[in-house]
Every structure is written in structure tokens, then in C-alpha cells.
Amino acid sequence: MKKTLLAIAIPLLMLGLPACSPAQSDDQPIRAQHLQQHDKCHMCGMVITKYPGPKGQLMLKDSNAVPKFCSSRDMFSFALQPENQRRIKAMFVHDMGTTDWEHPDDSAFIDATKAWYVYGTSKKGVMGPAVAPFSTKEAAEAFAESWGGRVLTYKDITLELLEGSH
């Protein structure tokens, strides 16, 4: 009888364990995903890893999908559209102060909202003028000194800027 009760009780107790474990909360850090060899840009459909320059990706509040982009410029073009702004939970870009322009390393993804940007540089991205992200203002200024462009904050990046009317 005792063995029968244990045989029933143990599986029942194990079913309850996941409910007792800490739930994934909004406090846990969100991390960028690695770009896979065949990932395609959410905006243009190009294979992301075939091209140089900083890439971007988003985490959405209403989906498990992770839109990935062949350039930080394409990411901003998507993210700044009014219908998409409220859906974004997190944004990541490559820190070009710590990775190679030709082959950005995914360990260099940083929070796009905290980055400094250089726009108007002679260094080209895959989709036209680059929006080159950096984790520090000093790195952005050094890049701008070498390659031209102006240093901007996240809030300075607008659709008007990307469309060339700013």
C-alpha cells in the first residue's frame, strides 16, 4: 500500500514543481540572439550575414518572433514606424567600437536605446548611409573623426533623418 501511494504521490508532486519554480519575469534581462547563416532581413529579405556593417534586432511584446535586420538603418526604419513603436520590448545593435565592420560579432550586441550613433559617415552600410552604433560617446566621436558624420543619441534617430529630410 505504501509503495502504491508513493508511486502515485511522487509523480503528482513533480507535476507541481514547475508551478513552484520562479516564473520568467519582465525583470530578467533580455539578450540578443545570434545571427544564423541563413537569417534574412525583416525589411528587405537579404541574407543578413553576407553584408558588412552593424546589424540590428528587436524583441516584440506581442510575439516570440525576433525580427532581425541586415543594417541598423533597416532596424530603425521598421522600429520608428508608428504602428511598430508600441510593440517593441527591446532593441539591439552591434557596438562598432568593439567589433569588425566587415564581419560584426554577435557578442558585440548592445541595447540600442543606450547607444551613441554616427550618421552621415563615409563608411557605408549595406542599405545606404550607415547608422553606426557605439556603446560610448568617446568611441562614436573617434569614429566620426576618422570617417565623418555627426554623433547622435538614440532619441535623435528619426524617420525624417533616415529619409534625408532632416
pLDDT digits (tens, 9 = 90+) for 55-108: 999 999 989 999 999 999 999 999 999 999 999 999 999 999 999 999 999 999
Residue 165's pLDDT band, with cuts at 50, 70 and 90, is low
1 pLDDT tier (thresholds 50, 70, 90) = low
In this prediction, residue 124 carries a pLDDT of 83
pTM of the model: 0.80
* Whole-angstrom distance, CA of residue 45 vs CA of residue 150: 29
> How far is the C-alpha of 4 from the C-alpha of 134, rounded, in Å?
63
Q: Determine the pLDDT at residue 130.
A: 87
